[in-house]
């Protein structure tokens, strides 16, 4: 059982996100494009956030420079795309340093991410699933994916671009029910000379969007080849509203006037629901942050106590003798951490420790009894007096350190 002072999930997830340099980066690959065969976590442009370099082997440098430069310049608009549902493009450049013809696309790096296909094990032989199956994607989660990806596509399309690579292998799950569209701009460079209208590409984004949601809900990697069968599976678990949304997206190429803005109007009620859920999640995170701020204060108290107690270099210094208020602090350390039961067994009570430290931090007038280890001395002091003693002793110690 997780203690009420801990944050389940967050404590395990956040440290890995903050230290991505030790993590291996998986290669999801994409059979429709030249192979993404090299992933390098790096810190580009002296920025604090890590970036990922995608090395694309496809003979790009074998083309003429007259083709290369316009193709690379076509990525410039992607650098200005700022949306919470899109992995940001940082830079695009060519390089021969690795002994091959390489195109590099530098993007933001989201540690611990998985693709939708990896996260939901899409196409891994799961057949008929019960409604209460543990790996069934809930409708709430699926709608969350829909609203996030719709927001991403709206930003992309309204900027005069098309995602072009929207599928379960190019949508990253970067947190709990948190998705981002990845791999954008690659086809803009590689297929620069392809004569396809922007309107057609944007409608194809809508089709791919629908197939992505269908693949997740039906757990079928080949939903595009078996749409009818995938929809039959999808209808078994999800309500008509989301079924209608998927069909609307899938049929976008047959209706040349369909746009992402129309789709957003269609799902407006779900967008409001997702926004409300995001506000609740924000409130929860602020609560977690408040508890962490409290923990930081307790860490400072513990640090000061450990700086003060048992300084062997001051054993013969009359100005730093473990008597008076410093003796109280030594006994307080025993009171908090070194208590034993009637049989002499150590008492490990985290609630007691946190309670004492919180009272010390607040400087309450509550009294406590401190007994020396030889049981020859007994003192009754308040937490306010102990807090004052800590501050006084730490100031003396800091003054000594400045003189050394």
| DSSP class of 252 | G
- Does 17-266 match 289-403 in CATH topology? no
- Three-state secondary-structure class, residue 23: coil
Domain boundaries, the chain: 17-266, 289-403
- Three-state secondary-structure class, residue 371: strand
Q: Which helix (H) or strand (E) holds 263?
A: helix 260-266
What is the C-alpha to C-alpha distance for residues 33 and 188, in angstroms, rounded to an integer?
A: 11
Fold for the domain defined by 17-266: Transferase(Phosphotransferase); domain 1 (1.10.510)
Tell me the average confidence (pLDDT) per consecutive run of 10 residues in the chain, 404 residues long: 48 58 46 43 50 59 59 87 94 74 82 92 61 70 97 97 94 94 88 84 97 96 93 95 97 95 97 94 88 82 88 66 74 91 90 92 93 87 93 85 52
Instruction: Name residue, tokens 């308040």.
Output: 382
CB within 8 Å of 398: residues ≥ 6 apart: none
pLDDT of residue 73: 83
| DSSP class of 160 | T
pLDDT of residue 12: 58
Helices 198-218 + 139-158 axis angle, to 10: 170
What is the C-alpha to C-alpha distance for residues 153 and 201, in angstroms, rounded to an integer?
A: 12
User: Which string of DSSP letters, residue by residue, matches 64-113?
Assistant: -HHHHHHHHHTTGGGGG---TTBPPEEEEEEE-TTSS-EEEEEEE--TT-
| DSSP class of 314 | G
Judge whether 145 and 151 are in contact, CB under 8 Å. no
Residue 273's CB is within 10 A of a number of other CB atoms, namely: 15
pLDDT of residue 63: 54
CATH (residue range 289-403): 1.10.287.3700
Q: Which helix (H) or strand (E) holds 336?
A: helix 325-337
What is the C-alpha to C-alpha distance for residues 395 and 398, in angstroms, rounded to an integer?
A: 5
Judge whether 105 and 95 are in contact, CB under 8 Å. no
Which residue, 141, 144, 174, 152, is CA-closest to 271?
144
pLDDT of residue 69: 75
């Amino acid at each position: 059982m997780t203690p009420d002072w801990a944050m389940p999930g967050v404590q395990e997830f956040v440290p890995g996100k903050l230290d991505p340099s030790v993590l291996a980066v998986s290669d999801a690959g994409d059979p429709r494009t030249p192979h993404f065969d090299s992933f390098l976590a790096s810190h580009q442009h002296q920025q604090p956030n890590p970036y990922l370099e995608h090395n694309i082997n496809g003979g790009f440098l074998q083309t003429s420079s007259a083709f290369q430069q316009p193709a690379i310049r076509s990525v410039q608009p992607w650098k200005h795309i700022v949306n919470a549902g899109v992995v940001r493009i940082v830079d695009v450049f060519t390089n021969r340093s690795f002994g091959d013809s390489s195109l590099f696309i530098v993007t933001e790096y989201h540690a611990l991410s998985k693709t939708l296909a990896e996260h939901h094990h899409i196409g891994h032989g799961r057949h008929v699933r019960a409604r209460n199956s543990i790996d069934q994607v809930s409708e709430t989660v699926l709608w969350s994916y829909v609203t996030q990806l719709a927001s991403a596509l709206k930003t992309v399309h309204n900027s005069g671009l098309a995602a072009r690579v929207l599928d379960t292998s190019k949508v990253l799950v970067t947190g709990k029910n948190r998705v981002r569209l990845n791999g954008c701009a690659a086809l803009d460079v590689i297929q620069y000379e392809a004569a396809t209208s922007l309107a057609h590409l944007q409608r194809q984004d809508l089709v791919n969007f629908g197939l992505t949601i269908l693949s997740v809900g039906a757990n079928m990697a080949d939903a595009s080849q078996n749409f009818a069968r995938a929809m039959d599976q999808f209808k078994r678990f999800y309500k008509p509203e989301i079924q209608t949304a998927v069909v609307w997206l899938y049929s976008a190429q047959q209706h040349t006037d369909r746009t992402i803005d129309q789709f957003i109007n269609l799902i407006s009620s779900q967008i409001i629901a997702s926004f409300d859920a995001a506000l609740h999640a924000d409130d929860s995170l602020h609560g977690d942050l408040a508890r962490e701020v409290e923990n930081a204060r307790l860490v400072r108290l513990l640090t000061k106590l450990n700086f003060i107690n048992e300084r062997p270099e001051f054993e013969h210094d009359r100005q730093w003798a473990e008597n008076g208020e410093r003796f109280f602090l030594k006994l307080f350390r025993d009171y908090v951490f070194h208590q034993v039961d009637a049989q002499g067994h150590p008492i490990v009570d985290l609630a007691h420790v946190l309670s004492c430290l919180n009272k010390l931090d607040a400087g309450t007038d509550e009294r406590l009894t401190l007994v020396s280890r030889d049981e020859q001395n007994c003192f009754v002091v308040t937490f306010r007096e102990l807090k004052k003693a800590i501050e006084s002793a730490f100031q003396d110690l800091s003054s000594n350190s400045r003189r050394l």
